[in-house]
Amino acid sequence: MRVIIAAAGTAGHINPGIAIANKIKQEEKNSEIIFIGTTRGLENDLVPRAGFELKTIEAYGLSKKLTMDNLKKMYKTLKGYGEAKKIIQAFKPDIVIGTGGYICGATILAANRLKIPTMLHESNSFPGRAVKMLAKKTDTILVSFQDAIPRIKNAKNVVYTGTPVKIRKQNYGMNEKSSILKEIGVQGTKPIVLVSGGSQGAQKINEAILSIIQNKKNKNYQIIWATGPKQYDKMKETLEKDGLSIEKIEGIKMMPYIYDMEKMMNVIDIALGRAGAMTVTEIANLGKPSILVPLPNVSHNHQLYNAKVLEKVGAAKIILNDELTGEKLNQVIEEMILDKEKLEKMGESAKKVATQNVEDKIYQEIQKLLSIP
Q: What digits encode the pLDDT tens for the residues 64-86?
A: 566 666 566 665 666 788 999 99
For the segment 176-207, what is each residue's pLDDT rounded down to a tens digit? Answer: 998 998 888 888 789 999 999 876 668 999 99
> What is the side-by-side order of every strand in the sheet holding 95-100?
53-56, 32-37, 2-7, 95-100, 118-122, 140-143, 158-160
Contacts of 15 (CB under 8 A, 6+ apart): 46, 164, 165, 166, 278
**Do 216 and 349 have their domain in common?**
yes
Q: How much is the pLDDT for 328?
A: 97
**Do 252 and 304 have their domain in common?**
yes
Q: How much is the pLDDT for 343?
A: 96
**Do 364 and 282 have their domain in common?**
no
- What value, to the nearest 5°, has the Cα angle with vertex 215 and ends 210 and 216? 95
Give the Cβ contact number of residue 28 at 10 Å: 14
Query: Would 168 be classed as within a structural domain?
Result: no
Q: Is 70 helix (H, G, I), strand (E, B) or coil?
A: helix
Binned at pLDDT 50, 70 and 90, residue 100 comes out as confident
For residue 205, give the CATH number of its domain.
3.40.50.2000
**Do 218 and 124 have their domain in common?**
no
Interval 91-96 mean pLDDT: 98
**Do 217 and 140 have their domain in common?**
no
Q: How much is the pLDDT for 42?
A: 86
Query: Would 214 be classed as within a structural domain?
Result: yes
With a cut of 60, say whether residue 62 has pLDDT above it.
no
For the segment 109-127, what is each residue's pLDDT rounded down to a tens digit? Answer: 999 999 999 999 998 888 8
**Do 200 and 260 have their domain in common?**
yes
Between 199 and 358, residue with greater pLDDT: 358
Query: In total, how many domains does the chain have?
Result: 2
**Do 307 and 180 have their domain in common?**
yes
Q: What global pTM score does this model have?
A: 0.82
Are the C-beta atoms of residues 104 and 6 closer than 8 Å to each other? yes
Q: How much is the pLDDT for 355?
A: 87
**Do 153 and 204 have their domain in common?**
no
**Do 37 and 111 have their domain in common?**
yes
**Do 91 and 188 have their domain in common?**
no
Q: How much is the pLDDT for 63?
A: 56
Query: Would 258 be classed as within a structural domain?
Result: yes
Query: Would 92 be classed as within a structural domain?
Result: yes
Q: Is 56 helix (H, G, I), strand (E, B) or coil?
A: strand
Q: How much is the pLDDT for 70?
A: 58
**Do 93 and 121 have their domain in common?**
yes
**Do 190 and 52 have their domain in common?**
no
CA–CA distance, 95 with 90 (Å, rounded to integer) = 14
Query: Would 88 be classed as within a structural domain?
Result: yes
Q: Which domain holds residue 50?
A: 2-163+355-369
CA–CA distance, 234 with 241 (Å, rounded to integer) = 11
Query: Would 169 be classed as within a structural domain?
Result: no
For the segment 291-305, what is each residue's pLDDT rounded down to a tens digit? Answer: 999 998 776 688 999
Q: How much is the pLDDT for 2?
A: 98
